[in-house]
Structure 1
Amino acid sequence: MVFTHDTEISLRAVAALVNTDPEHRADGADLLATEEELEAFVDEWQYSGSRTHDAAELDAVRGLRAELRALWTAAEDEQVAGVNALLARERALPQLVRHDGWGWHLHATTSEAPLAERIAVETAMALVDVVRSGERSRLRTCAADDCEDVLVDLSRNRSRRFCEGGCGNRAAVAAYRARTAAR
């Protein structure tokens, strides 16, 4: 395990959130366009705490995507400044909690804080762990020429290059076809 369980989940969740943004998708589709899609996202990534289940909540979460992508891809000093600014803006107060079958882990907002605030702060706290452990190289962008998805490489040998959108399979097939054609 590279990071604690809650950090890994937060990193994978923020990558999934950032990758819903139509601005960086080849097909231009917004994968977080409806309240139902937000509900599925929250359920999949097990965000706890209060919810309003309305369009304002959806807009607030969607509004995080560009900021979180910028943090993900920033140079170290810019990333640190951005994380610190986000934590200050949201008045983060780290505390140990245990709930819903999870062991002890950190929350830095109250469970009553708005969903977008909780997502932003959990992301910032995960990025704190990434920077402190010297593992920024694990935050990547997909190596496929036609994909801008972000990913977190949690492999032992730091070898993951492609997102979960099938880009690795497409690259392998293209390489196979190129080798076959060259023969």
Structure 2
Amino acid sequence: MTFGSHVDGVVAVGRELVNVATPGERQGRSYDVPGPAQLLSGLADAVRLSGRDARVPDAGAVEAFLDLARRVRPVYEFVEAREMDQAAEVTNALLDRYAARPRLESHGGQPWHLHFHGDRRADASGWGAAVAMGLATVLGSEYADRLGVCAAPACDRVFVDVSRNGLRRFCSEACQSRVKAAAHRARQRA
């Protein structure tokens, strides 16, 4: 299942930004935003998920990426709680904040496709408009429920479900395995 190649890429970037740049829990452990060098590496890995030649984040843009991740996380949380009106309101606020403007672009031998750019003065990360439009595209589709927060205990990382059946509930195979192993141990004790 795909949302469209460009949308898939920017939604993946948004998901990974939230997972790298927001504190909480990850795979059963407390998760703190990493230090500067590791954070920059994680942000660079996140933007590479777009599948295009993206500008690698520099130290000057870190605060903008952190701000974007903090603003995007509630969309996943509201969708997980099935509070779609609130998810849409947050996404509309993101669209306003990052002034998403559509542009047709062709690069790397690809056919023309939509990109969304915002005002660089409003977003030093350069990703706010694209991520906001990606989320808006997903929320405005029949697949709005494909965003979520990991169902594993002690994990609040987010995911985008692109599985065929739409039943994904974990951020990673590691979390899914932890839950299955715990359930197996519980059955063995019973």
Q: Same fold (TM over 0.5)?
A: yes
2: distance between equivalents of 1:122 and 1:154?
A: 19
- 1:158 counterpart SS class: coil
- 2:36 counterpart SS class: coil
Judge which range, 149-158 or 127-136, deviates more. Answer: 127-136
> CA 1:19/1:100 → structure 2, altered by over 3 Å: closer, same or farther?
same
The size of the alignment, in residue pairs, is: 180
1: distance between equivalents of 2:105 and 2:169?
A: 34
2: distance between equivalents of 1:8 and 1:131?
A: 13
Which consecutive unaligned segments of at least 5 residues does structure 1 have? none
1: distance between equivalents of 2:120 and 2:88?
A: 27
> CA 1:146/1:50 → structure 2, altered by over 3 Å: closer, same or farther?
closer
2: distance between equivalents of 1:103 and 1:32?
A: 39
Judge which range, 16-25 or 38-47, deviates more. Answer: 38-47
Deviations 1:45-89 (A, max 9, x none): 4464556x5422112111211100012223322222332232233
1: distance between equivalents of 2:99 and 2:170?
A: 35
The correspondence for 1:28, drawn from 7, 28, 31, is: 31
| Identity across the alignment (%) | 31
TM-score (norm 1): 0.82
> CA 1:46/1:158 → structure 2, altered by over 3 Å: closer, same or farther?
closer
User: What does residue 47 of structure 2 align with?
Assistant: 42
- 2:31 counterpart SS class: coil
User: What does residue 15 of structure 2 align with?
Assistant: 15
TM-score (norm 2): 0.79
> CA 1:112/1:91 → structure 2, altered by over 3 Å: closer, same or farther?
closer
From the two aligned structures, give the one with the greater strand fraction: 2
Q: CA RMSD for the aligned pairs?
A: 2.7
Deviations 1:117-142 (A, max 9, x none): x3211111112211221322111111
Judge which range, 3-12 or 103-112, deviates more. Answer: 103-112
